[in-house]
Each structure stands twice: as structure tokens, then as C-alpha cells.
Amino acid sequence: MSKYVKNLVTDHLRQRLSGVHDALLVNVIGMDANANNRLRKELGQKNIHLLVVKNSLAARAVAGTSLAGMFDGVTGTAAICWGAEDIVSLAKEITRIAKDAKYAPFAARGGMMDGERLSPEQVEQVSKWPSRTEQLSLLVGQILGPGATLAAQILGPGATLAGQIAGKAEGAENEGAGPAAESAAPTPA
């Protein structure tokens, strides 16, 4: 490959990966074309991008970015995965696919998260964390929990008192209208 072509490929990779701060390296070598196509379609539906790259060109393209250390010591062909809602969602999807037999040679090889390099074992650990959506729901629950408890404590005694007053009022109505209601009722013939 000529230097001109290498520069074009490097510039293209730099443009595709601009704005990407977290990514994972995966192995797709050995997958047949049909499995690869199904994999890309499945990932695309979840807004995850997969790009097979030449390591040396990709390392040049990400130099000076938060992905810079991702290709240190990587040999052979690698593919970059990025996208999804966050790195945890990406790691969950990658580990799920790696365990699926129909994508057998697919495996996580590491990656970058917040400027730190991840090993394949760390990718597995990250996949067990709560995703951004799960974290937000936990936070909202923790914020709303004390408020709901306080509201129940404030409204509880008032509702009990209102129920007792309504019960007494019904009892008073039934006592006052009891004998008159019985005499006014028609007798069966």
C-alpha cells in the first residue's frame, strides 16, 4: 500500500472515530460471511458500529485521542466496536454475542474506557455493571423514595380520620332513619 493510500485510510479512520471516547476491540476473524452479515445487522439495530482495521493505520488514526493506547501490543487483525448508549451497554452486548455459538470465533480483545485500557477480563467485568438507564432509574428511585414515604406518613392519619368521620356519619344516618324507613316500606301481600 502506498503512502498516499495509507494517509487516505488513516484520515478516513480518524473521521469515523472522531468523537468516540470509549470503544472495544473484538476478533471477527474466522466468521463466515453470513454470520458476519447477521452480526453487523444485529449490532446496527442497537446503534453499535463494527469496523475491521489494520492495526498500524488505526493506531496512527487515533494518536492523540482518548483511544490512543487501544492498539498498543495488539497483533493480527482487529475490529473496533463503538456506539450504543454507553460503554457498559456496549460491553454487555459484546459479551452476550461472544457467548452465542452462532458467532463462535467472535470474542472481546480489550478496549478503552475513559482513557484507560481494558483487558478482555475487564470487559467482562464492565458488562456486569448497571447501564446508564439502570443507574438513572436507581437514582430516581432513591430520590423519590423518601418523598413517597413522607407523603404517606402525612396523608395516612388524615385518611384514617376522614374514614372514621365518614363511618360515624353513615352510622348516624342509619340510626335516625331506621324506624321511619321500616314503617314507610310497603308490606308484602
Of the listed ranges 16-30, 57-71, 164-178, the least confidently predicted one is 164-178
pTM metric for this prediction: 0.69
The 10 Å Cβ neighbour count of residue 86 is 16
For residue 9, give the C-alpha cell: 485510510
- The domain spans of the chain are 3-129, 130-178
Q: Give the CA angle between residues 16, 18, 22 to the nearest 5°.
A: 100
Quick check: 83 and 54 in contact, CB under 8 A? no
Per-residue pLDDT at 179: 54
155: left (phi over 0), alpha (psi -120 to 50) or beta: alpha
pLDDT in tens, 30-41: 899 999 999 999
**C-alpha R_g of the chain:** 32
Tell me: pLDDT of 187 over 90: no
Mean pLDDT within 52-72: 88
Residue 178 pLDDT class (50, 70, 90 cuts): low
Tell me: pLDDT of 49 over 90: yes
Residue 42 pLDDT class (50, 70, 90 cuts): very high
DSSP states of the chain as a string? --HHHHHHHHHHHHHHTTT---EEEEE-TT--HHHHHHHHHHHHHTTEEEEEE-HHHHHHHTTTSTTGGGGTT--S-EEEEEESSSHHHHHHHHHHHHH-GGGTT-EEEEEEETTEEE-HHHHHHHTTS--HHHHHHHHHHHHHHHHHHHHHHHHHHHHHHHHHHHHHHHHHHHHHHHHHHHHHSPPP-
pLDDT in tens, 83-137: 988 899 999 999 999 999 999 889 999 999 988 999 999 999 999 998 888 888 8
Per-residue pLDDT at 135: 83
Residue 185 pLDDT class (50, 70, 90 cuts): low
Mean pLDDT within 133-150: 84
Per-residue pLDDT at 94: 94
Looking at domain 3-129, its CATH superfamily turns out to be Ribosomal protein L10, N-terminal RNA-binding domain (3.30.70.1730)
- Choose among 48, 107, 110, 114: nearest CA to 82: 48
Per-residue pLDDT at 164: 85
